[in-house]
Amino acid sequence: MATVYKTPEGPALVSGGGPHAHGSRDFVDTAHHGDSLGSEFVDMLAATAFEDDAVPARCACGPHTLSRRELLQAVKSHTHVLPLP
């Protein structure tokens, strides 16, 4: 759904662009009707006064949002998996 990367400027968030196969079969990420997938969301995890706390995340089960604040706490505590709200 989302990955946090360590960068020199601070943690950066990258969330996927659409549904895809899971498991041992690596299929190309293509929408059901052959359309291209949505673009990835990339942003610094730390928010300023201009960003919302909620950031988009997506998996095969549909679109979701994650909290920047909860993701920052997870990074600090080395938590690798967060439950969806």
Looking at residue 38, what is its pLDDT? 58
- Given the structure tokens 């505590």, which residue do they identify? 77
pLDDT in tens, the chain (85 residues): 788 899 999 999 898 755 554 444 445 444 444 444 557 888 888 877 888 888 888 777 778 888 999 999 999 999 988 887 7
In whole angstroms, give the CA distance from residue 15 to residue 35: 19
Looking at residue 77, what is its pLDDT? 95
Question: What's the Rg (C-alpha) of the chain?
Answer: 14
Looking at residue 12, what is its pLDDT? 92
Q: Hey, where are the domains in the chain?
A: 2-76
Burial degree of 45 (CB within 10 A; 0-12, 13-18, 19+): buried
Looking at residue 18, what is its pLDDT? 53
Got the DSSP string for 16-35? --S----SS-------TTSP
